């Protein structure tokens, strides 16, 4: 692979091909965003989308939002845990990569927020999230917690960038200071409370038995950490691979730490799900969810992608990655996990609502006589446009940040004076 230096300074001095490649990627991403913007307004005129909400309020936008929100907070949780407990990795490899990881967490809010804000029927009433703040509503708290998270992660990023701009003596003093610890602890609180609260949004939905209850917040916290490990692995492999700086220390850090995280979190998620299934057996509305999840259309996805690939295959590969300290094996496990993770979140959100519909339409097992009109869910082109546009914007900003920001170890701010 031809190493591409993403630093703008070097980019300027580099060959025409390298510059053209990066500028070309950015232009393509902008064009995708433009196409999405053209298609997006149709979403707001689509009667079918809104009328279907009476039976099934949350479509593809919500699982996509939840997925990327978990990735953003999960990657940040791992950063904060390592910092709080003073973990530095092999030859302080974690310190070398931390700014890249914080930047990734921060910018991953984009593909999370784009679909969820587009999915609100009346974004023009959004001011009431503040003016009419309902302290009992989990969704209301999501807004407040995102504010907290954003502030903390920005402080964390600026802190680490400024740290590298200092002389060694001051740097050492600040690294072990109470200020550094406080920043990391507060970020960790923001991460965990966001994941837990996001789980509670589903847990508080008494109308959808598949979600409601106390297990959703725990599941979301663990899932965020797992997804965080998977995305961090791929991001570091990608960034350092492209820069031609994938050193042995970084390879060892990735294979040791992220494989280890996968090996811990995969069985926990498996346990939570199995336990929920067993305890739901005697509660027909919740049991219906597990039937929907494990049979028919969802069944193929669940057994094939989530259980076989996401749990079993990934676990075996993660063992190989950990035991042999193989970054390639860890990256393969991470690659499978990011798809299996999305499939699981999608099935949890959409399948959960499908279970409510199918349960309430089966008279012989429905003890409540409550019925929704028959309904099946399909993605629409405008919905896909919103998702594609959000992801294109995310990648655009991610690359731009890698080019503009001083994210390498010891790199001094050159372009953005705020960090000096």
Partner 1 sequence: MTRYAMVIDISRCLGCGACVAACIAENLNTSSDELEFKPKPSIIAGLLGLPRKEIPPAEYFVEKAAEQVEPEKAQEEVRKLWLRTEVYAIPSGTYPNVSLMFYHRICQHCTNAPCVTVCPTGASFQRKDGIVLVDPNKCILCGACIAACPYAARQVDLLTKTIDKCTFCAHRVDKGLLPACVETCPAHVRIFGDLDNPNSEVSRIVAKYHPPAGTPHGPIRGTEPFVFYMPSGNYKPSVKEIEQEHLKEAKIMKKLESESS
Is position 363 an interface residue for partner 1 (rule: CB under 8 A)? yes
Residue 371 interacts with partner 1 (CB under 8 A)? yes
Q: How far is the CB of 45 from partner 1 (least distance, A)?
A: 7
Torsion sign over Cα 331, 337, 342, 345: negative
What whole-number distance in Å separates Cα of residue 410 and Cα of residue 191? 27
Size of the site for partner 1 (CB under 8 A): 47
Selected from 15, 134, 182, 381, the binder of partner 1 by CB under 8 A is: 134
- Output the CA torsion sign for 46, 52, 54, 60: negative
Tell me which H or E stretch contains 223. Answer: helix 215-243
- Whole-number minimum distance, CB 44 to partner 1, in Å? 8
Distance in Å, CB of 286 to partner 1, minimum: 11
Rule CB under 8 A: choose which of 8, 21, 26, 129 binds partner 1: 129
Find the shortest distance in angstroms from Cβ 121 to partner 1: 3
Binding pattern for the stretch 143-162 against partner 1, x by CB under 8 A and - elsewhere: x-------------------
Stretch that binds partner 1, among 18-26, 124-132, 186-194, 253-261 (CB under 8 A): 124-132
Confirm or reject binding of residue 415 to partner 1 (CB under 8 A): no
Q: Which two tokens stand for residue 382?
A: 């405008």
Minimum separation from the CB atom of position 128 to partner 1 (A) = 4
137 touching partner 1, by CB under 8 A: yes
Q: 16-55: which residues touch partner 1 (CB under 8 A)?
A: 45, 47, 50-51, 53-55
Q: How far apart are CA 129 and CA 241, in angstroms?
A: 43
Identity of the residue, 141 or 322, whose beta carbon is nearer to partner 1 in the bound complex: 141
Q: How far is CA 17 from CA 9, 11, 24, 73, 404, in A?
A: 15, 10, 10, 36, 19
Q: Name, in order, each residue with C-beta under 8 angstroms of 136's C-beta and a sequence gap of 6 or more.
A: none
Query: Which residue, 128 or 271, has its beta carbon nearer to partner 1?
Result: 128
Sign for the pseudo-dihedral over CA of 299, 203, 389, 97: negative
Determine the 3-state secondary structure of 36 from DSSP. helix
Q: Stretches 65-73, 243-251, 368-376, 400-408: which one binds partner 1 (CB under 8 A)?
A: 368-376
* Cα–Cα distance for residue pair 236/340, rounded to 1 Å: 20
Phi-psi region of 296 (alpha: psi -120 to 50; beta: other; left: phi over 0): left
User: How far apart (Å, rounded) are the C-alpha atoms in residues 227 and 96?
Assistant: 21
Residue 286 interacts with partner 1 (CB under 8 A)?
Answer: no
Select the residue interacting with partner 1 from 101, 208, 292, 398 (CB under 8 A). 208
Euclidean distance between the first and the last CA atom of the chain, given in angstroms as a whole number: 34
User: Which residues contribute to the site for partner 1 (CB under 8 A)?
Assistant: 45, 47, 50-51, 53-55, 57-58, 119-123, 125-126, 128-129, 131-134, 136-140, 142-143, 201, 204-208, 211-212, 353, 360, 363, 367-373
């Amino acid at each position: 692979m031809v190493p591409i230096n993403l630093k703008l300074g070097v980019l300027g001095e580099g060959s025409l091909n390298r510059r053209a490649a990066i500028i070309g990627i950015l232009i393509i991403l902008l064009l995708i965003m433009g196409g999405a913007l053209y298609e997006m307004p149709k979403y707001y005129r689509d009667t079918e989308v809104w009328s279907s909400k009476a039976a099934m309020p949350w479509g593809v936008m919500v699982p996509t939002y939840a997925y990327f929100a978990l990735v953003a907070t999960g990657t940040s949780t791992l950063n904060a845990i390592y910092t709080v407990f003073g973990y530095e990795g092999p030859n302080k490899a974690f310190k070398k990569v931390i700014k890249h990881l914080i930047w990734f967490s921060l910018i991953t809010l984009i593909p999370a927020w784009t679909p969820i804000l587009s999915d609100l029927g009346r974004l023009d009433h959004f001011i009431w999230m503040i003016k009419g703040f309902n302290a009992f509503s989990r969704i209301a708290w999501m807004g407040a917690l995102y504010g907290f998270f954003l502030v903390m992660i920005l402080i964390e990023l600026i802190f680490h960038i400024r740290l590298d701009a200092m002389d060694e003596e001051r740097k050492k003093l600040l690294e072990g200071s109470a200020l550094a610890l406080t920043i990391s602890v507060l970020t960790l609180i923001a991460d965990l409370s966001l994941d837990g609260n996001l789980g509670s949004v589903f847990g508080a939905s008494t109308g959808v038995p598949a979600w409601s209850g106390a297990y959703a917040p725990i599941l979301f916290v663990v899932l965020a950490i797992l997804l965080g490990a998977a995305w961090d692995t791929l991001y570091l492999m990608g960034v350092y691979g492209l820069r031609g700086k994938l050193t042995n220390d970084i390879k060892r850090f990735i294979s040791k730490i992220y494989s280890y995280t996968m090996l811990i979190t995969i069985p926990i998620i498996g346990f939570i799900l199995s336990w929920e299934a067993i305890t739901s057996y005697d509660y027909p509305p919740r049991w219906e969810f597990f039937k929907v999840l494990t049979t028919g259309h969802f069944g193929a996805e669940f057994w094939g992608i989530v259980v076989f690939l996401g749990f079993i295959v990934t676990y075996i590969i993660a063992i190989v990655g950990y035991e042999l300290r193989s970054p390639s094996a860890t990256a393969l496990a991470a690659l499978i996990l990011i798809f299996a993770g999305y499939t699981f979140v999608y099935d949890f959100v959409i399948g959960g609502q499908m279970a409510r519909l199918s349960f309430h339409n089966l008279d012989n097992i429905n003890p409540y006589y409550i019925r929704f009109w028959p309904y099946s869910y399909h993605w629409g082109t405008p919905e896909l446009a919103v998702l594609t546009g959000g992801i294109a914007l995310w990648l655009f900003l991610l690359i731009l940040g890698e080019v503009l920001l001083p994210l390498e170890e010891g790199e001094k701010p050159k372009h953005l004076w705020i960090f000096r």
